[in-house]
Each structure stands twice: as structure tokens, then as C-alpha cells.
Structure 1
Amino acid sequence: MPISTYVPRDTLRTEFSAALSEMYRVEVPLYGDLVELVDEINGGVVKKEGDHLGEWQSADRLNVERHGAIRLGTPHELHTISRLFALLGMYPVGYYDLSTSGVPVHSTAFRPLSPSALAINPFRVFTSLLRPELILDTRLREECLAILSKRNIFHPHLLPLIAKAENQGGLGRSDAAELVEYALETFRWHERSLVCRETYSRMRKAHPLLADIAGFRGPHINHLTPRVLDIDAAQKSMEGRGIPPKDIIEGPPNRLCPILLRQTSFKALTEPILFAEGSGGEMGSHRARFGEIESRGAALTPKGHELYLSLLAKVPVVPGETNEAHQLKLAVAFEAFPDTWAEIRTQKLAYFRYFTRPTSSTMFGGIVSQADAESRPTPETLEELIVSGKVGFEPIVYEDFLPASAAGIFQSNLDQRGPETETTESSREVFERALGGKVADYWELYEAMEEASLVEVAKAFGMRC
């Protein structure tokens, strides 16, 4: 079959994410309620703000913006899932060691890399791998490894399809449809536990995440996340819609110039499970799956990220504190972070995309008239081009995650904090060895996006890069 007849990876990713969303709505009806709430809020913001949202907050992306999360148990599972995601145009970006926050996993985000692929569908999956060396109970660690070594989280028809796609460079329409169908089985909820009540209880006592990873047939998707344009309004509205929110919105405060990532969720559901044979068909319950919403801002440079972390550290979350009180303290602390795009750009705190523009267009610095533009000397530098109105700039959307907020969402939905530990071997090296390749540096990706836009501007004006 000619390569041109294969289903594009961006199309496969879109079809898979849509199918996953539909499946999760059936499994967790409250998630469907959350999506409806988000759609209402986004519709109101778009109607009110209109063109002022800018291309980087385009409503076109909101209808497909989802991220999911799964937790894997073995290096083989991680390596295989990476092969599947590659067929969907999703690659590992960023390394997150959540053990520093007491969660016995390390993670990466599988996502599209190029601006064009992100524009088509930015779906990403935050994927965690168990770190068994952090299970201090030796007997329990060996039991968990034995259980994980025997299970197969992939549909028997999925691996041959993955191999076929890898060998021939893609899949035709019929095979592509089967790939999506069989891939969904890995993410589906199975209420029957692999272990008896006693083993489940010991797993949960060691860490709830251990029971979630090793106690079941597969890594069931534990949450999906639509993107909302006003997360503060969503947080306030959730309770009134019968969607119990977590106490605090994670991340930076509400700002004129949004940065990085803000997120909240409804609390994990208590779901019935059936313990394995030997428990007499005994029923139990499990808490792991929830619905999350996110609000994305600009991608920060290492300098901006360092400033962000230093300010965030000044406002620890106080048990029992309301979200309103916490956000107020955050807002005060973040007065030290510039809140105009011009200042943020000048201080090199975030990454931007540069583009040529009509001289009468609006930019983040205002409107430059045709007469004013023509009266000025011919610009020779980027800054002169911006001042003259011939070049505009807009923030590059942050497509990744924060270790602190990722761990915070995990902890708030598990009601337990594990021991903070360190290992002598680089945990990133261990993760990448299991993955079978390197994890991309998201700062390098954002810098490349910014640089590519500068090259295009330079070409347009005959400048040297």
C-alpha cells in the first residue's frame, strides 16, 4: 500500500482521543457533567472576549484539548505504550520524578512536538511508571513485581498492529480503526481486582497508588482534562453542579498574562470493586479516578520558571485553607512577576512566537498607524520592527506539566503522602532505559519554536538571524 494512503498520525491521535473521551464519559458520568460545564464557561468567555483572546488562546483548540493520565507497572509496559503513542504522533517530553513529593512513580508526557501537529490536536498523556525500589516492604515489593510480570495490559490484536505499522510506515483505514479500538482496551476500567482483599489492603497501606497500579488488570485512564478559559469560574461553579471540587486550584494565581498551568479537579470517586478469587466474591471499594480541568498560559524560560518556583515557595498550602484565601496570598506574592507581555518578553521570562503583520494591526503594545509607521526610519533590528508595528509577537502555549502540580493532584486524590526518598542511581536514567530512548527537553522545544519564528521574520525583512 502506498504511504500516501496511510492514515496520518495526527488523524489517528484525534480519533483516539475522541474515542477515549467518549469511553470515559460512559465510565465516569460526572466527567461528562464537567465537560458540559467547561463548554458553557468557554462559550461565555469567547462571546465576551472575542478577538481579544488572540490566536494562542484560540477557541478552535478548546473543543479537542484533552490530556489524560495513566500509571504503568513495568518497563515493558512503558516501552510498549511508547510504541503505540508514536503511531499517534506522541513522543515523551519532560521528566518528572514525583518521588520527591512522596509519590512512588516517575513520569513523562507523551505529546505532539511540532507547532503544526499541536495545532491539529494537542492531546497528551501524562504517563507514570512505578518505582518498585521505593516499596520498603520487601515481601510486598516481590508480590507486586510477581503480579505485574504476569499481567498483559494490551489486547492480543494490538501488538501485531503496532508491529505492522512500524514495519510498513503506517496503517490503512481499516487497520487504523482496529488500532484505536484495541488500544482503548488498555485504558478501560476493570472493576475486578487481581488480588484478594488482604493483599489489596497491604498495597493501599504502603501507598494508595501502589494498589491502583498493581491491583488491577490494566492501567485504566485515571483522568481526562478539558481546557477551560476561566478556571476560577469553573471552580466556583462545580459545587453548584454537584461536582465536588478539590480545595485549591494548583499553579500560579489568576493574572492578566497567564503563565504555565493552572489546574483543579473533582475529587476521586469511590467505586465498587470485586476482589480476586479467594475472597469469596467479596466486594470492596477503590478511589483513583477523577475529572480534572486545566487553564494553560505561556511557556516560561528557565529564568521565568526559576522566578515562578521562588514565588510559589512563599505561599505554601495551609490545611483547611479556602481556595479564595490561598489565591489572594498567591496574587500578592506574584506581584513580583511582571504582568504585561512586553515586560515578560523584555526580561526573557517566557517564550514567544514572532510574525510579520500589517502596520495598522493591534499587537500587545497597542496600535501603530500607517502614517506613524511610514514616518519612522527603516527598521534594522527586531526591536525596531516591533516598535514600528511591522512585527508582532504572542506567547507560546505551555504544553507540559509542573512536577509540583502533578504531585499535588495525585496527593489530593489519594489522601496520603508517602515517604520522600532518594536513590543513588539517576532515576531519569532508569526511566529512559525502560522507555528505550531519551526524553525530550521541553525548554529546547520551546526555544526552537521561538527561533524558527525569528528566522521567518528575518527572511521577510532581509535581516541576518
Structure 2
Amino acid sequence: MRDAGFVSRDDIRADFSAAMSAMYKVEVPAYGMLMELVAEANAEVLAGDPELRTSLEATDSLDRISQERHGAIRLGTPAELSMMRRVFAVMGMYPVGYYDLSAAGVPVHATAFRPVDARTLSRNPFRVFTSLLRLDLIGDETLRAEAQQVLAARRIFSDGAIALTEKAERQGGLDRRDADRFVDEILETFRWHDRACVSADMYQRLHRQHRLVADVVSFKGPHINHLTPRTLDIDAVQARMPLRGIEPKAVVEGPPTRRCPVLLRQTSFKALEEPVSFQSDDGAWMTGSHTARFGEIEQRGIALTPKGRALYDRLLDEARKIATPSADGSNAADYGAALAGRFKSFPDSWEEIRAAGLGYFTYSLTELGRTARGGRDDDVERLLAEGLLRFDPIVYEDFLPVSAAGIFQSNLGDEATEAFAASPNQQVFEAALGASVVDEFAHYAAIERRSIENCRSALRGLQAAE
């Protein structure tokens, strides 16, 4: 049982999210400019769309828009991943979903640590997409052994971070003083380090294998490589970035512009080339550069059922066969046209999406439903037809492997693509994690099911009160 004097996990997560954002704005000033653009676009959308505002208010999502963001980190060893799981648990964040990015030429697999229930999401929705490097996909055995040696020798968590995590586990939480110290100590894991822990020669050899491998192996810690605010109009922000001197990636990843957004759309400004130092054999430091960190924005839509996801995947695959987007943007228009054309097959009204079983919804009583009298059955369709129920889309809280890989590759350049064999290995990942990941489809289905049962229970209560 948690002590009443403990700070809630939600508050610790909110404090950590705010501290991370403040740090990243200092480290990457363009991110602060991106946040301003997103705030402007969101205000304009809400002012012009009263129906959207009403839906967000009905699902307790309106206040989340301004604070919503996610981050991403890349870890090097199973031990780092296991410890990170324990750290995030102190903040009420748990692993949801398994992602194999090797299918897109990125040698990692991943999960998303996030809050999982509606109450904690409404308190603070911060999530971190967490990748584990797959050295087994690197064919150069000598380089792989060297990388393993470097990663085995580093410690990405401070003694204080480990001690406070263990204390939280032991006593069930942290008091205010310890919670503040915990945030400070964990923040150091995500801080940028401009001195590499490998030589310039090894960095170049890692870089030639894959830029992401160089990013994970070459530094003292996993530095946050991007943060992502949520926008209600990603196309507007994409168009305005160049007006603020920010160079966006060529195309928005995910589905095309739609009246009813589905899953997730993402874009970013291109990764920064930043000065770093490498130590030579004689101990002297020499200047070089590294490209990894960027700013991203996301627009979230409805969570799709397996049927909806299968349709989405098929249409996206068909569009990419017509025109695969290149990092330089030379065929962006062709890709946009192909995407829009193929997605005409995906219904674009909430009524059609629900009727076809393509998305997940929450159900709630209307004003008429809250005052209903007389015998009512439990049939959802009849209750909807009678105006006693309403439905609202469940926001997709997770990530897309192809979308995430697109962001990776667009920031790495076309030349960074490697033909890694796709080898989904969720069991190996979960063994490294030290826990099973939550199945996102089952999770969204349970949310929908509970909302229906709550409505039925409320209606039965009204009948009993007559």
C-alpha cells in the first residue's frame, strides 16, 4: 500500500517531462520555436472547429493538447533496457507494444513506455519510444565485438538514480524530496554529451555500418534524440517551419490528410550536425561532428482495430510501391498523390469507421440518456439510434514502426539505408526488458468494452431508481 506522503507517479512523470522539455529547449533551440508553431496551429484549429473542441472536452482530452509530447531514446544493452523499465515504472510508465524496425533498415527493436489508463493519461500523457540496438544484425564480427566491449563498460545511470529507483521499489514510492532528486538524477541519463567515448577511427567504422549504430555506441549516455509536441494540424506546422528558418523533412509520415485522422502522422525538422570531440591515442581531443538530434511533431488520430490496421498497412504499402518517398524530397508530390489516391478506400467519417469495425470508440450517455426512464435493453445500436448514447474516437497513444523508421531514415539520408533482414524477436526483447509488453489491440478493446459496460450499468441504475 502506498504511503500518503508519497508523490504520485503521475506528478513525478509530469515533473520529468517538464524538466526534459526545458533541457531540450536549451540544447536544441529550434525545438522551442517548433513548440511555438504548434501552439499557434492548435489555437487556430480549436477556434475554427467547435465540434472538435466538444469531442476533446467530452473525453477529457482538451487540457492534454498543450502538454502532450513524447521523446525517444536508443539503448545499447539488455541491462540498460531492463534498468530503464524500472526507472519508468517509478513514473507510472509501462511498456506497450513491440516494434521491429529492422524491416525498414534500422537495426533496433523497441517498445513505448507510457501511462496506460485514462486517468493517468489525462494527468500527463508523456511517453518515450525506447529502442534497443541489435548488434546481432551487424555483419562485421570484429566491429560487433568492439561495440559490445564499449557498451559493456559504460554506465548510463548515476549511483543516485539507481539508489532512488531501488528505494521507490522497496517502499512503494518517493516523498517530495526524493522525487525531486530522482528527476534530477534521471535527467542526467538523457543529457547531451559532446565528448565521444570512442576514437574518431572507431566512430567512422561504426558510422559506415549505420549512423544509428554510431549514435548508440559512441557516447556516454543515450541522450534524448528528439521530443515531440502534439499538433491538431500537422500540415500547417509543416508549411510554416521554413518561415521560421526550420528545414522540415520532405514528407509527413503516416496516412494522408483526412477529415477523420487515423493512427499517427509525424514530421520533423532535419537532424542537426553538432560538434563533438574524439580522443586520440596520445590523450588529446580532436574536433569532429555528429548528426542525430532533431525536433518532431505528431498528429494523433483514432486507434484502429486489427481489421483497420490491416487495411491501413495494405493501403500504405500500395502507395509506397507507386512512389517511395526519398529523403531529398524530389518525389514528395508523387508520393503525396499516391497516398491520397490509395486512402480513398479508407472510410473518412466516424460513423463509417465505426460501422465497418475499423476503429475503437468510447461510449457515453447523452443528456437524454442520463435522464432516460422506462425499460431499456442493452443493445448498443438501438441505444445510439434512440439518442441515449454517443461515441467518440479513442486516441491512438502508440507508434507506427514504418512511421518511426521513416523519421529515422529521413534524418539519416538515403545513403544510410541498410538491407537488414527483418527478424521480429519479441521474446528476446522481452527477456532483455524483464517483462512482457502490453498488447495495444487488447488494451484499446478493453477501454471500449468498459465504456459500454459503464453505460449499461448507468442505465440499469436509472431503471432501478424508478
* TM-score over 0.5 for the pair: yes
Q: 1:229 to 1:57 in 2, by over 3 A?
A: farther
Cα distance in 2 for partners of 1:379, 1:3 equals: 44
SS at match of 1:275: strand
Q: Secondary structure at the match of 2:402?
A: helix
Q: For 1:313 and 1:397, locate their aligned partners in 2 and report how far apart those are by CA, in whole Å.
A: 23
**Residue in structure 1 matched with residue 134 of structure 2 by the alignment:** 131
Tell me if structure 1 keeps the 8 A contact 2:21–2:227. Answer: yes
Secondary structure of the 2:49 match is helix
**2:50 alignment counterpart:** 50
Structure 2: gaps (5+ residues):
462-466
TM-score, normalised via structure 1 length: 0.93
**Separation of aligned partners in 2, 1:216 and 1:157:** 20
**Which amino acid in 1 is paired with 2:388?**
K
**d(CA) in 2 for partners of 1:127, 1:2:** 28
Does structure 1 retain, via aligned residues, the 8 Å contact 2:194–2:275? yes
Structure 1 residue 156, shift from structure 2 partner: 1.7
Distance 1:14 1:457 in 2: 31
| Counterpart code for 2:35 | V
**Cα–Cα, structure 1 residues 359 and 321, in superposed 2: closer, same or farther, change >3 Å?**
farther
Q: What code does the residue aligned with 1:386 have?
A: L
* 4+ residue segments displaced more than 2 Å: 50-53, 56-59, 276-280, 317-329, 376-380
Whether the 8 Å contact between 1:31 and 1:291 is mirrored in structure 2 is yes
Residue in structure 2 matched with residue 339 of structure 1 by the alignment? 348
1:210 aligns with 213
- Structure 1 residue 301 corresponds to structure 2 residue 305: yes
Preserved CA contact (<8 Å) 2:369 2:389: no
Identical columns (%): 51
Q: Say which of 142, 148, 157 aligns to 2:160.
A: 157
2:295 is the counterpart of 1:291: yes
Tell me if 1:106 matches 2:113. no
Secondary structure of residue in 1 paired with 2:128: strand
Deviation (angstroms), 1:50: 3.2
* TM-align CA RMSD: 2.0
Structure 1 residues 99 and 52: alpha-carbon distance in aligned structure 2, compared to 1, 3 A threshold: closer
TM-superposed CA distance for 1:135, in Å, is 1.2
Contact 1:30 1:243 in 2 (8 A): yes
Give 1:379 deviation, angstroms: 5.7
1:267 equivalent in alignment to 2:270: yes
Aligned to 1:28: 28
Change (3 A) 1:38 1:188: same
- Equivalent residue, structure 2, for 1:356: 365
- Distance in 2, matches of 1:335 and 1:27, equals 42
1:101 Cα deviation after fit = 1.1
Shift in Å, 1:16: 0.3
Relative to 1, partners in 2 of residues 1:151 and 1:385: Cα closer, same or farther, differing over 3 Å?
same
1:96 deviation in Å? 0.4
Deviations 1:315-345 (A, max 9, x none): 1124344545433332221111111111111
The offset of 1:377, in angstroms, is 9.5
1:407 partner letter: A
Does residue 1:402 correspond to 2:400, yes or no? yes
Unaligned runs of 5+ in 1: 362-369
Does residue 276 in structure 1 map to residue 279 in structure 2? yes
| Residue 452 (structure 1) aligns with | 450
Change (3 A) 1:258 1:422: closer
- Amino acid aligned to 1:117: T
- Deviation track 1:98-128 (CA, whole Å, cap 9, x = no partner) reads 1111111100000001111111111100000
Judge conservation of contact 1:248–1:264 (CA < 8 Å) in 2.
yes
* Structure 2: distance between partners of 1:179 and 1:16: 9
Q: CA deviation at 1:306?
A: 0.2
2:318 is the counterpart of 1:314:
yes
Aligned residue number for residue 364 of structure 1: none
Letter in 2 for 1:210: V
1:365 match: none
Counterpart pick for 1:68 among 68, 71, 79: 71
> CA offsets per residue over residues 293-327 of structure 1, 9 Å max, x none?
00000000000000001111111124344545433
**Paired residue secondary structure (1:348):** coil
Give the C-alpha shift of residue 397 in structure 1: 0.3
